[in-house]
Amino acid sequence: MQSRVSRLIAPLAQRVGEDASAAQIAAAVIATWREIDAALSPIIGTRGVAALYRRSLHLTAATHRWITVQPEVLPPEMDLAGLQSMIALQSSADAAAGSTALFQAFHELLGSLVGPALTERLLRTVWADASSGSPAQDIR
């Protein structure tokens, strides 16, 4: 059985290779966030996804200082262009670690609201898309 953390990084690992640049990692992260948004928006709305995403950014910024969140009114959707820019400016290792931490924070936050079983069901398509290809490579 795959661990929760490896399941969380599978979408990212499937999209990038071992020697991926920060820009490649950023593109993979954004593609994964778009899948998450597509899976959850019909259920909790675009603003709900944006709120969870923004809270996850705040939580992750505590350990990955390069992740910044502008103090502003909650936007109606996720600022994926801003996230992509932040990730692309990091080293590959920092980009992968911060992105993985962000996915984990989001997963844990959603799980705390709706429970782990429902979280897994809601995000099944995101994680299943990644695991349907070849085995993931370690991006750390």
Please write the tens of the pLDDT for every residue from 40-50.
999 999 999 99
pTM of the model as a whole:
0.82
Break the chain into its structural domains and give their ranges: 4-131
Spatial CB neighbours of 120, under 8 Å, sequence gap ≥ 6? none
Q: What percent of the chain has pLDDT over 70?
A: 77
Residue 138 has pLDDT above 80, yes or no: no
Helix (H, G, I), strand (E, B) or coil at 31: helix
Nearest residue to 107 (alpha-carbon basis) of 15, 39, 45: 39
Q: In this model, does residue 36 exceed pLDDT 80?
A: yes
pLDDT tens digits, one per residue of 18-34: 788 999 999 999 999 99
Average pLDDT over residues 81-108: 94
Most distant CA pair in the chain, distance: 41
